[in-house]
A and B are shown apart, each in its own frame.
Chain A
Amino acid sequence: MPVTRGFFGKRRDAGERADRLPPGQYDTGQGWPTLTAEVTPHLVPEQWTMTVDGHVETPTTWSWREIHALPASSYVGDIHCVTTWSKFDTTFAGVSVDTLLEAAGPRPEAAYVMAHSTTGYTTNLPLADVTGGKAWVVWEYDGRPLPVEHGGPVRLLVPHLYFWKSAKWVTRLELMVKDRPGFWEQNGYHDRGDPWLEQRYQGDP
């Protein structure tokens, strides 16, 4: 591809963190941009529940109180949005998706997950991308309750994939045998969304 006349790039100052920036991304610094396609819902935590079902041995639902009684787990690290910002050194806390799956018991044929939000938003993920300490259901950001515009009171967190996979206002993980596209995936975005491979849109490698 040809060079853009007169362009040299401003954001080369990532310094020692440059190797933490996937291709085509920039460091958003202290800001946290938001991307939402629907009206932001205002959930009452006491009325929210989290369910794991589909191809599992024991479909299981947790209340807000019950999920808080599970072993706590946190993530400290970077997040990457398909709209090209990355945010370094975030801290989220909640529960590991492994803990939820352990209770529900995925059947051997389960290979994919559809995350469902209270708004009707969905996103699909390979099961392998939400197991092995790679995914969380979180309600705290930076030691405080997760703000509503960032998915509060509770969202999925899959930080090694583009952030649309980290469904805001998550309420259900449905285990599936076959993959099927979620909301953005039906609207032109990639089924897996690995930022290091720049899997932004359908048709990317």
Chain B
Amino acid sequence: MTDTAPAGAWTTGRLIQVDRPSDRLVRLRFHVEDRVDHWPGQHYVLRLRAPDGYTAQRSYSIASDPHDPLLELMIECLPDGEVSGFMHDVAEVGDEFELRGPIGGWFTWTGEQPALVVVGGSGVVPAVSMARYAKRLGLTDRLRVVAVARTYDELPYAAELERYGAFLALTRENVGARVAHPPYPDELVPLAEGVERAYVCGSVGFASFATRLLGEVGVRSDTIRVEQFGATS
């Protein structure tokens, strides 16, 4: 691996596959012209253009493995979301979109360090790219994923993450003997052992919770990379 993250210019993505795994999620798979291979954890900007030239653009984390022939995004539909709502309600197979990416050189994992990834809600998306990458390259022993959601059905990619051995912490649903609760420190201790880097992705409130939790189990704060979204009011 070179030490500079790849970056791509504006290009066109044709929508090849769309599905809506829940009423709040839309999974989009694009064929991207002149695609630049990404690193797991990077993102793309998706831009919509109206007939009068008005545009709206947002950044979305990549879910796909770099070797996937298509680029996959999983977008959570936000209340009144101008881009997410359009992709959820209107976008169809065959539509073309302006895409720019990959972008970002910080929240990336390319397998060199043993890492613990703590993600919440739609923040799981970059962890999915990392886990798919780890699976393909046989690096699964270097990547531990903790995915937090209210219920199993609300967690994007829940079944796939489970197959990769991720620990799913559900806060509103009991799983076997585990009573609904955010992850406890003692659940993270074995996962944090020996990690040299940690990643946190989720809402502002989740990121604050997860970084505190990582601190409690002995992960140094200067090894934690954070990606958070959403607003404070």
Q: Is the CB of B82 within 8 A of A10?
A: yes
Give CA–CA (A38, B48) in the complex, Å: 30
**Is A150's beta carbon under 8 Å from chain B?**
yes
A24, A147, A150, A183 interface centre (most CB from chain B within 10 Å) = A24
**Is B184's beta carbon under 8 Å from chain A?**
no
Chain A at the B interface: SS class: loop
Give CA–CA (A32, B233) in the complex, Å: 6
| Contacting residue for A36 out of B47, B48, B221, B228, CB 8 A | B228
Give CA–CA (A183, B105) in the complex, Å: 10
Give CA–CA (A149, B206) in the complex, Å: 13
Could you count the A-B residue pairs with CB atoms below 8 Å apart for me: how many are there? Answer: 122
Query: Residues 1-26 of chain A: 1 if any B CB is under 8 Å from the residue's CB, otherwise 0?
Result: 11111111111100000000001101
Q: Is the CB of A188 within 8 A of B211?
A: no
The total of chain A residues at the interface (CB under 8 A) is: 42
Known: A31-B232, A187-B104. A7 touches B7 (CB 8 A): no
The total of chain B residues at the interface (CB under 8 A) is: 49
Q: Is the CB of A7 within 8 A of B90?
A: yes
Segment 35-94 of A: residues with Cβ below 8 Å from B: 35-41, 83-84
Give every chain B residue within 8 A of A150 (Cβ-Cβ): 232
Known: A8-B50, A9-B50. A33 touches B90 (CB 8 A): no
Q: Is the CB of A34 within 8 A of B82?
A: no
Known: A31-B233, A34-B232. A26 touches B82 (CB 8 A): yes
Known: A4-B49, A10-B82, A188-B5. A149 touches B58 (CB 8 A): no
Pairs across A and B, CB under 8 Å, 27 listed: A1-B10, A1-B49, A4-B95, A8-B50, A9-B54, A10-B56, A10-B80, A10-B85, A24-B47, A24-B55, A31-B233, A34-B204, A34-B231, A35-B228, A36-B228, A37-B226, A39-B222, A39-B226, A41-B221, A83-B59, A84-B59, A147-B232, A149-B204, A150-B232, A187-B105, A187-B106, A201-B100
